[in-house]
Structure 1
Amino acid sequence: MRHTLIALTLALPLAAQAQTKAPASSFEIKALTPETALVAAQAALASCRAQGFQVGVAVVDRSGLTQVFLRDRFAGAHTVDVATNKAWTAASFRTSTLELANESQPGKPMSGIRSTPRMLAVGGGVVIEAGGSIYGGIGVSGAPGGEADDACARAGIKAIIDKLEF
């Protein structure tokens, strides 16, 4: 009996130690393929074009790096930077730029983020998210107003969401 107690006393700390997991030294992320990013951009462009809007569309990965950019033939030169920065902002802040436009108005607690380089607080940038994973962002520029840009960006996400949720 005494030997059993000694053995249990020695074994308990080892058992507790075995159940404690060490923190992970790496992690996995999900990313869009260039083909999927292109489908999203094409769908956003088609949605805006169907409404008579000439736009630029950017898709960025979760780090904000551009994967795809499409510019309709009559979209303004500014749409290249604006769409890309909207997509970057959505991916970086993990929220739509339409929401950020509201939350970062002068006098609001988040107003200071408007001074962040590349940050654009105007509608048209949307996070690409599915199944609890953030894949990146999509940005649209050139439609008449942020709400119209936002709707086209969401059409782009709608075109690929089924592929991401598996």
Structure 2
Amino acid sequence: MIFRCLVVMLSIYALADAAPTRAQDALVTHKSLAPKIALDLAQAALADCQQRGYQVAVAVVDRAGVVQVVLRDRYAGPHTSATASGKARTAATFRNSTSNLFAVSQPGMMQAGIRNLPGAVIIGGGLIIESGGLLVGAVGVSGAPGGDGDEACAKAGIEAVQGRLDF
């Protein structure tokens, strides 16, 4: 019995040695937005909305949907911060704009169920942020008189920092 256990243990060690582990096989690396770029993006989106006459909140999240920055204009409604954060988180986790998600989740469509997921905010105004073709975060805007206005401001924020993201 002891001999059999020893043979099994030696077999396991032999298999472990046969597949060498290297750091690149064991670790995953990814790019992440620096706080300064996240803040600059949010400020640019807020400024664009202000020029359009919109009182909004802007949220920027990392690639996992964790909030990095939230800015709320002084007259934006009390719900706008949570809605902007929800749009950004939804865009990041679905890796798609919330306006695209809105379009593919209409009642009767195959993806209609995503509208009922807890925390998903499926209305226009959430965009992904990419660097070199990789997702690094997302931005959400809430408070303009419609998702198109929110999305236009979010796009302006991304465009303001895109040159620093492309490297």
Shorter-normalised TM-score: what interval?
Answer: 0.7 to 0.9
Which residue matches 1:46?
47
Which residue matches 2:113?
112
- After TM superposition, the runs of 4+ consecutive aligned structure 1 residues lying more than 6 A away are 20-23
Q: What letter is aligned with 2:34? A: T
CA drift at 1:130? 2.2
Structure 1 distance, partners of 2:111, 2:26, is 33
TM-score (norm 2): 0.85
Which residue matches 2:34?
33
CA drift at 1:21? 9.0
Which residue matches 2:142?
141
Which residue matches 2:159?
158
Ranges in structure 1 where 5+ consecutive residues have no aligned partner: 1-16
Counting only pairs closer than 5 Å after superposition, residues 76-155 of structure 1 correspond to structure 2 as 76-155=77-156
Equivalent position SS for 1:24 = helix
Equivalent position SS for 1:160 = helix
1:86-144 alpha-carbon deviations (Å, 9 max, x no partner): 00000000000011001011111110111111111110000001212111110000000
Which residue matches 1:75?
76
CA drift at 1:29? 0.4
Equivalent position SS for 1:159 = helix
Ranges in structure 2 where 5+ consecutive residues have no aligned partner: 1-17
Aligned length: 149
Identity %: 52
* Cα root mean square deviation, aligned: 1.7
